[in-house]
Amino acid sequence: MYTYNEFDNAFVRERVAQFRQQVERRIDGSLTEDEFKPLRLMNGLYLQLHAYMLRVAIPYGTLDSAKMRQLAYLAERWDKGYGHFTTRQNIQYNWPKLADVPDMLDALADVGMHAIQTSGNTIRNVTADHFAGAAADEIADPRPVAELLRQWSTDHPEFQFLPRKFKIAITGSPNDRAVTKAHDIGLRMVRNDAGEPGFEVIVGGGLGRTPMVGQIIRDFLPREDLLPYVEAIVSVYNLLGRRDNKYKARIKITVAENGLDTYRDLVEARFAELRPAFSGVDQELLAGIEAEFAPPAFRDASTDGYEAHRAANPAFRAWTDTNLTEHRAPGYAIVSVSLKAHGATPGDASAEQMRVLADLAERFGHDELRISHEQNVILPHVHKSDLPQVYATLRAHGLATANIGLISDIIACPGMDYCALATARSIPIAQEIATHFDALKLEHDIGPLKIKISGCINACGHHHVGHIGILGLDRAGVENYQITLGGDGTETATIGERAGPGFSADQIIPAVERLVMAYLDLRDSADETFLQTYRRLGLTPFKAALYPDQEKRHAA
């Protein structure tokens, strides 16, 4: 993975030193909150309901054991012994004290990490397929390009005060695990008819109060044109994007209001201006970065022991059935470690768990770890012969839940348990759904089902692209939960349909149960997933299950 060079180090250290002085000036009263707020947000520091929150960037979700151990150290030294992994592959600390934050940032800089541009109207952490560099279906590892974009966007002088925040996601696989169509810019690696690698460029996707699926602005962009083209997109947005209304300021609205064709013409014109300025230095940089992402030396070993262990141990077998993904190298597997133990807070890991994961990555995983946007941790390169040991260690630390992709593998934003923007809580709803279906012992029978919960309309919990989406709102001073159905965050991205009136906190679990029971009745076989059944039958039968009283009234 990429290691900071002298320039990166000096830049990050300088920013920490600046912020240390800014915090001192805030505490001694020489800076007002109005003056300080933009400065702290530039460094990822929010003020929430109960405390400050520090959001640390995990570029394209990639970590090694040293970084993960340092995240554990921060959690113990300056927080309450845990961290929260987010849907943008970042980590959030919920309890830092203002005066400690510069020390936290210095400790991050020690391992080549920072919190820059994790907030504010800038280009945020570039997210990527969490199986990058390992997936069997991949054209190429997208992370070198993601790192190039990180270097280009960090402190980019033109893009520090955009109309609104700006999020880029990239995948190297045809199977989109990075939700690229719900980003301001989505990049999908493709090959043209001549077999040359390039990108399909998607623009104007986003969730929030006006959810939109991104549109293709260029179906094939040569690799060497990437930076000038992306710069052209952001540059046009910077001038054209609305600054008069926060709710209409994202690029999805700019594209929708001006039309994709107009937007494309403007981008192409700007691209023509910018392209000559990119002399090829970016491609030299990229070549250097690519060398740092060279695949590990995979070993050739027997998997007989793994198969025997699988046959003898049903719990291990169940875990391998749900938590492994096919690896490109023979004998290897991608391990998804669930941070969704039934009843636990989705995405939370204790310092001890982080250290266990770091140890496993070091011993069995070529020292690589990933954070997924679904708030789990990935060991991307594990030889199958090591899986029994990996599983035993995970199990000893509450990390062996066999539920990846199932009903309890829920995305949930922090909601009103932490977030100042939230209109309702998300975490308790996720906890209750997970424990409820675990008690019913139905989880594996239900099969693949993505539930995503947001505690406000900003949709950090991706509810619009959940097969079942839940949105927490404040209805006349009471928490109320609205259901959307049929959403999909993959290459077949779809915004879910609103099912009808919302449910109170004590009615939302029974409502989800009625939906799931209806699906089990309606599916044509155990192989038809919830989403497939929904697509075949539409909203009507599910609506009937959700609102049985209304149906009775109609029938009467």
The residue ranges that bind another protein (CB under 8 A) are: 26-29, 32-33, 47-52, 80, 94-99, 345, 348, 416-418, 425, 427-428, 431, 474, 477-479
317 vs 323: CA distance, rounded Å = 10
Closer Cβ to another protein, 134 or 424, answer by number: 424
R_g of the chain, CA atoms, integer Å: 23
Nearest approach, Cβ of residue 507 and another protein (Å) = 16
Nearest approach, Cβ of residue 27 and another protein (Å) = 7
For residues 378 and 337, the answer to whether their CB atoms sit within 8 Å is yes
Closer Cβ to another protein, 343 or 548, answer by number: 343
Closer Cβ to another protein, 233 or 427, answer by number: 427
Closer Cβ to another protein, 99 or 272, answer by number: 99
375 vs 414: CA distance, rounded Å = 12
For residues 432 and 395, the answer to whether their CB atoms sit within 8 Å is no
Burial 103-142 (b: 16+ CB within 10 A, else e): bbbebbbebbbbbbbbbbbbbbbbbbbbbbbbbeebebbb
Nearest approach, Cβ of residue 92 and another protein (Å) = 13
Contacts of 488 (CB under 8 A, 6+ apart): 465, 467, 494, 531
Beta-bridge partner residues of 479: 474
Closer Cβ to another protein, 255 or 411, answer by number: 411
Nearest approach, Cβ of residue 124 and another protein (Å) = 23
CA angle 93, 94, 96 (to 5 degrees): 80
Structure tokens, 501: 């009136």
Beta-bridge partner residues of 247: none
Nearest approach, Cβ of residue 33 and another protein (Å) = 5
Closer Cβ to another protein, 132 or 427, answer by number: 427
In this structure, how many other beta carbons lie within 10 angstroms of the beta carbon of residue 396?
A: 10
Closer Cβ to another protein, 434 or 495, answer by number: 434
Nearest approach, Cβ of residue 81 and another protein (Å) = 10
Task: Write the burial class of residue 508 (CB in 10 Å: 0-12 exposed, 13-18 middle, 19+ buried).
Answer: buried
Q: What distances in angstroms separate CA 315 from CA 215, 352, 554, one per listed residue? A: 43, 23, 47
Closer Cβ to another protein, 3 or 32, answer by number: 32
Closer Cβ to another protein, 80 or 156, answer by number: 80
For residues 368 and 337, the answer to whether their CB atoms sit within 8 Å is no
114 vs 20: CA distance, rounded Å = 14
Nearest approach, Cβ of residue 25 and another protein (Å) = 11
Percent helix, percent strand, percent coil in the chain, to nearest 5: 45, 20, 35
Closer Cβ to another protein, 305 or 398, answer by number: 398
- In three-state secondary structure terms, 46 is strand
Nearest approach, Cβ of residue 476 and another protein (Å) = 10
Structure tokens, 69: 């151990």
Closer Cβ to another protein, 461 or 487, answer by number: 461
Q: Give the N- to C-terminal CA distance of the chain in Å, as an integer.
A: 65
Nearest approach, Cβ of residue 505 and another protein (Å) = 10
Region at 252 (left for phi over 0; alpha for psi -120 to 50; beta for the rest):
alpha
Contacts of 540 (CB under 8 A, 6+ apart): none
Nearest approach, Cβ of residue 13 and another protein (Å) = 25
Closer Cβ to another protein, 51 or 509, answer by number: 51
Half-sphere exposure of 123 (CA within 13 A, CB side): 25
- In three-state secondary structure terms, 90 is coil
Closer Cβ to another protein, 32 or 525, answer by number: 32
Q: Where in 35-79 does DSSP place strands (E)?
A: 45-47, 52-56, 62-63
Nearest approach, Cβ of residue 22 and another protein (Å) = 14
**In angstroms, how far is CA 451 from the centroid of its own chain?**
14
Nearest approach, Cβ of residue 375 and another protein (Å) = 14
Nearest approach, Cβ of residue 31 and another protein (Å) = 9
